[in-house]
Structure 1
């Protein structure tokens, strides 16, 4: 006789939604309570679309409780599971946002900041993070395990080589300079940030350190809503932005615009002892400089829902950036006895501009059978940049006098096509397959001219000039299979990529192609321990392919004692990533500790060599083995109700860089962490503080010292909480100093780069909006 617990009729299915016709509420908790005593009988957590399944339910009468952070708890009595029914479909279960004012979009509750999915951490961007952030760069610094290097590029667990996506699409569709993109993208357009240290096969196989996907808001609120923001800062660091969304019936329109003026000053010091020549010498460099820039970002999008199953979205993004840089660098070379052998000052005055436009078209179709879904995404991007630099080298030694000019021109375009199909094979298993292609081209001209002092005119210098053509084409197919039970979850995937590079060194009439075929397997396993707790084990193989700038053999002589060049012989870097972790995130807080390991046996890294004159050459190379492993945790916690909210992350890890060929053997323990705190004060004031420390770590030929950053702010709600005014200070102690020590058989070097102006700004933000019929859908 069959066990009645597993008899037919023991399955409940449904979907948690925010309103009639609205999309699902992600990760809502559904509990099944016994009708007789309200004890917990079973339960489930809804998926990203709000769909849940509770299997193996004993026939009987129950009460259903549906909860989610930021929503009112809903109880549904009289849930009956009969033995004669194969499945009970509860349909759409509507839950309401907390404290929603009539005719106004004012939601007091917020989603839990961190949600741990099977192969990623989802960081929801709450109002506290928005109030203390002007752009995406500011947001990323507050995300657990993420930091920024001295150039503004994201790092995960202190390492670069991170793939950054925007709505699942490559960020380079928005422009070629990632730090500028992140600084120009307004923070209030961001819904959440997904961080994947071991991404599934669905995501790009590139990025040895992982993938960051920045998800923008897609409003479905009927009526009009939006906001505006103005920030005034010291040293002419200002920005302003505005956005508006309108929806009526099946049509929605959204637009945003932002502008920024930035100004940063810095200092640089370097001391290098040359040990390669018979007469050892010491190079000392001391200099200051400043970078100024302006950027403009605009965005217009239109979406149309033909019906509940079919929707179309089109958008245009435009960005423009202007920059100017000044630097003054004193170079002094001395013998070991302190006698000055040569000395000169090099002045650099550079400026540049660039623009980028991106067109996108996305289509989504849902099928009636079992929520099959087909997505098609496309983007076309084109842009260009140009610049000019003027170098004036002053010295009492005639042979060191220089006057040089450098003119740069870059043109690029790219096409991105993606289609994927989701097939729910059963209520607990899903197959997803997809095809992607990306094609791009980049034409780069660097022309260098030297002043002929006899004729007084500039002449072209072919030895340090370069015309470089670059094309790549990536064709990818992927498949992931997910299986869920009441306690277990599994997602296995395989990604196959055919990658082609065409490199044309036009200036020396040399062209060649490179072809890579790579396989990226992934596996993620989870085991639920309770309603909100789980353990997981993840593995992913990653590949870091050489970028165009790393391959370009152009020699940058802007600093003649430290020249840089590309390496057209670079090979891809393959990294194995494994992680085992536990997570438990509840309404009032939680944590997610994990053990991790990254291993690469052909790591791409910067290598510096020196010649007998003391001039160093830096370029990327495949050096050998890189290994890092350690312990990491993120956490979030509320104290005294909502008076104090704290979130952050920390890690202790071992980093090793070893290469027999390059005679490198660096191994060190390190520790890093960040902490955010938000305090509710009387009279609608809130204070915030942020600290981050990236500890010392091993690099290819030495060590990078730790970097400490501290920010703080205070804000006040105004105009019935429709407006916010805030005061923020970044880098309070001017401690963002990047120091490194290198040591090889041929030289030793100590260097420092530090931003020397703290940023202080006063920001005013105003929000408006009304709700008519319908609800919200924040993807």
Structure 2
């Protein structure tokens, strides 16, 4: 293993001209390029892993002299396993293939004839390397960050897994990714991110994304792909980018698995188990997890109302908490008919229960200092939701070399129900309230996808696909007020709502990729036909919306060395209105700050461009870039206020959003494997401008995150994570910066079959989300602060035999 890693590192570091000048070669004059071309031919091939012939990324291929094994020439395979060795003199050679985690392969009698200019070696199969230690597989980890032509691949190593219970914990450790106060992912500090799971929309697993991410166990995840300028292959939605969460597949022989138990303060506990088994052509994987969670918060809001002649002031102060528990189960089977045909089927089930409460004091003061209105608003809510998802995937490799057809399908159905009880206390009878809100939601969706990959030449690939996604959502919100005379609840038709929503998306895309020794190009176009049917049942109003959109993408890379490259990317994105943004239901849970949907929303189109450099090797690297995002029809939340001091918030198309700046991510191993660090940082300008809404906010900002993993004596490892999202311009104001710090320590036990870890999240209780809004009609400052830090102890046990996949330690 160490020898393979050393060879990989040497091949990445040594320039080509030094490789050519190694002992045993027949040197040519440095300036005699024509002579080199005349005497040299090319070797091409592809490194694959058996039995499914999956490409092995970044394997080192060395061409040796048979007599003394001296190095003649070499190359590093690309992310698909394809390699090219140029300028090879005619003769008989020994080929050596090395890669971390695989057995070294030697192929003798590689003969290049004098009259031949090209020798195609075809697919070369390497076998995974495993060392058995008390029936636990121990392997080297992959490089954490791999920079592809249109995305960054973040491999999930054992250090990240040891300090993460679920996918939400993992995402916070991924460069350029953060979570907002509600647990929704952000890229470069901005929302509107499309989250995929194995290339499929995450809403197939449920309607509430933060709950999905919290319920998905971390040890099921193999890698996370982050695309800030996605190619046309991916969904055109998501103005900020796309995150694709790739789960582990069954690539084992025999059986392995693990169990995990986490006990934390404030009833934040989790347990999970997973099992993988494969024998012959049949494979099985299953997992089960459960979690309880609890979070407390405090909130303040201070607002001056300028609508009336005499200024009034609203002050809100309160506390609250959220509790919940969820369960997630997954079963998948796969069968390899032969080396060209395989099928996989699976089912996922999740269930979530939530309990929320709040206690908010509201006081309105006139300019004279007299309190004109005072009441306390108490809210107790509970909700239940479940989701069932079926998937069926089929892969076919044609007789022609590397032609491949993938078919994916998913069907999801689920529902949720909830009830909220509001009690409004005051010394003034007219302000007394008792209300209840009963909710019910039913949804189902179908996803179909077919992709065809055609390697036109060893270095040119055409990929085309068609996709269809349809969903239906029926939402009932019934609101009741207590009649104090009869002591019964009566239905309020004015703020109740029955809302039906359907959408259907039909997409076709095509991408073309071309690579040479130095250049790489990928161009694509996605055409999407999008249809929305909106039925405001309670108001007897319905209408349909149809959008036809084109999403082009282009990326070009220039290789500067074996591991370094420059790249330029462009992508057009579209953010279509979501069902909740369109639903005109009025949420009056906070009667001084009501919310509603806007059925007149139009899509937002964003142009994204990025130019960057990357250099990632086994011990680390970095990837600086310049980026720019521009949209001229941005969807954002707008708040207006009436004479009574009540604000109304809804989504609207406001105008222009523009951001540009410098960003870099990096990873590095120091002092051997004693210290590993990775992170990202950016400095950028954000602008929100709308003449219609009278908005002109522009500001410079900076953000960044850092992860550190330190090896200590006696098999202890410590970790630390810090993230800072700097202030930025938002519609009607600014949002302050947010700082978060976590830490942990772990120890391997039982001959590395088990791990125990201690983790603390939000060490300094610094999850403060502050914003200031300033318009001609009001001025507002608000703060939401999480008031409980999370402390937990986690024990993980692993078992298993020979494995052909990465360690999930």
Same fold, TM-score > 0.5, yes or no: yes
Q: Distance in 1 between matches of 2:674 and 2:558?
A: 34
Match of 2:3 in 1: none
The answer on 1:126 being equivalent to 2:147 is: no
SS of alignment partner, residue 54 of structure 2 = coil
Residue 370 of structure 1, CA deviation = 1.7
Please give the alpha-carbon distance, in whole angstroms, between the structure 2 residues aligned to 1:297 and 1:79.
52
Alignment gaps of 5+ in structure 2: 1-32
Tell me, in whole angstroms, the C-alpha distance in 1 between the residues paired with 2:127 and 2:791.
39
Alignment correspondent of 2:287: 256
In the other structure, the counterpart of 2:654 is 623
Alignment match of 2:204 (pick from 163, 168, 173): 173
TM-score by length of 1: 0.96
Give the direction of change, closer, same or farther, for the CA distance of 1:755–1:692 in structure 2 (3 Å limit): same
Deviations 1:298-319 (A, max 9, x none): 0000000000000000000000
The correspondence for 1:756, drawn from 787, 790, 794, is 787
Counterpart contact for 2:136–2:798, Cα < 8 Å: no
In the TM superposition, what is the alpha-carbon distance from 1:12 to its structure 2 partner?
A: 1.7
CA contact (8 A) 1:7 1:83 kept: no
- In the alignment, what sits opposite 1:149? 180
Secondary structure at the aligned position of 2:131 is classed as coil
Match of residue 488 from structure 1? 519
What's the CA shift string for 1:507-551, capped at 9, x where partnerless? 000000000000000000001001000000000000000000000
1:633 match? 664
Mapped partners of 2:94, 2:567: distance in 1? 31
Q: What count of residue pairs does the alignment treat as equivalent?
A: 775
Q: Are residue 84 (structure 1) and residue 115 (structure 2) matched?
A: yes
Match of 2:460 in 1: 429
Look up the match of 1:116. Answer: 147
Which residues of 2 match residues 668-683 of structure 1 at below 5 A?
A: 668-683=699-714
Q: Aligned equivalents of 2:159 and 2:379: distance in 1? A: 41
Q: How far did 1:644 drift?
A: 0.4
1:689-735 alpha-carbon deviations (Å, 9 max, x no partner): 00000000000011100000000000000111010000000000000
CA distance in 2: counterparts of 1:32 and 1:618, whole angstroms: 66
Q: Does 1:535 align with 2:529?
A: no
Residue pair 2:300, 2:318 contacting (<8 A) in 1 also: yes
Deviation at 1:293, TM superposition (A): 0.3
Residue 691 (1) aligns with residue 722 (2) = yes
**Per the alignment, do residues 38 and 651 of structure 1 end up closer, same or farther by CA in structure 2, a change over 3 Å counting?**
farther
Distance change (3 Å), C-alpha of 1:587 and 1:64 = farther
Aligned to 1:43: 75
Distance 1:398 1:489 in 2: 73
2:79, 2:781 → 1: CA distance? 51
1:284 matched to 2:315? The reply is yes
Structure 1 residues 423-453: Cα deviation after superposition (integer angstroms, max 9, x where no partner): 0111110000000000000000000000111
Contact 1:446/1:466 (<8 A) preserved: yes
Match of 2:498 in 1: 467
Provide, for residues 633-692 of structure 1, a one-character-per-residue CA deviation record: whole Å limited to 9, x for no partner: 000001110000000000000000000010000000000000000000111100000000
Inter-partner Cα distance in structure 2 for 1:724 and 1:267:
36
Task: Give the match's secondary structure for 2:132.
Answer: coil
- Do residues 394 (structure 1) and 425 (structure 2) align? yes
2:167 aligns to what? 136
What residue in structure 1 maps to residue 688 of structure 2?
Answer: 657
- SS of equivalent to 2:137: coil
Give how far 1:14 is off: 2.5
Query: Is the aligned partner of 1:478 residue 2:509?
Result: yes
Residue 731 of structure 1 pairs with residue 731 of structure 2: no
| Alpha-carbon distance in 2 for matches of 1:281, 1:61 | 90
CA distance, structure 2, for counterparts of residue 690 and residue 138 of structure 1:
11
Partner of 2:601: 570
1-structure distance, mates of 2:724, 2:171: 14
Is residue 600 of structure 1 aligned with residue 628 of structure 2?
no
Shift of 1:101: 2.4
Q: State the partner residue of 1:410.
A: 441
Check 1:306–1:4 CA distance in 2 against 1; reply closer, same or farther (3 A cut): farther
Post-superposition shift, 1:83? 2.9
- Structure 1 residue 32: Cα displacement: 4.7
Distance change in 2, residues 1:677/1:623 (3 Å): same
Partners of 1:636 and 1:224 in 2: how far apart?
A: 33
> What is the TM-score of this pair, normalised by structure 2?
0.93
Show the 5 A alignment for 1:308-457. Answer: 308-457=339-488
1:339 CA displacement: 1.6
Question: Offset of 1:454 from its aligned partner?
Answer: 1.3
Q: Is the 8 A contact 2:215 2:289 kept in 1?
A: yes
Question: Per-residue CA shift, 1:450-479, capped at 9, x if unaligned?
Answer: 011111111110110000000000000000
- Specify whether residues 690 and 188 from structure 1 end up closer, same or farther in structure 2 by C-alpha distance, changes over 3 A only: same
**CA 1:102–1:778 in structure 2 vs 1: closer, same or farther (change >3 Å)?**
closer
Alignment partner of 1:139: what SS? helix
| Partner SS for 1:550 | helix
Distance 1:99 1:682 in 2: 25
Question: In 2, distance between residues paired with 1:449 and 1:105?
Answer: 59
| Distance in 2 (alpha carbons) for counterparts of 1:516 and 1:8 | 58
Residues 69 and 94, structure 2, Cα contact 8 Å, conserved in 1: no
- The residue that corresponds to 2:19 in the other structure is none
C-alpha distance in 2 between matches for 1:522 and 1:716: 46
Distance 1:21 1:355 in 2: 35
Give the conservation status (yes or no) of the 8 Å contact 1:173–1:379: yes
Q: Tell me the C-alpha RMSD between the 2 structures.
A: 2.0
Residues 346-376 of structure 1: CA distance to partner in whole angstroms, max 9, x if unpaired? 0001000010000000000001212100000
Deviates most, 306-315 or 4-13: 4-13
Q: What is the CA deviation profile of residues 569-605 of structure 1, one whole-angstrom value per residue up to 9, with x for unaligned ones? A: 0000000000000000011110000000000000000
Instruction: Note if contact 1:272-1:749 (Cα within 8 Å) is conserved in structure 2.
Output: yes
Inter-partner Cα distance in structure 2 for 1:39 and 1:316? 51
Structure 1: gaps of 5 or more residues: none
8 Å Cα contact 2:137-2:807 kept in structure 1: no
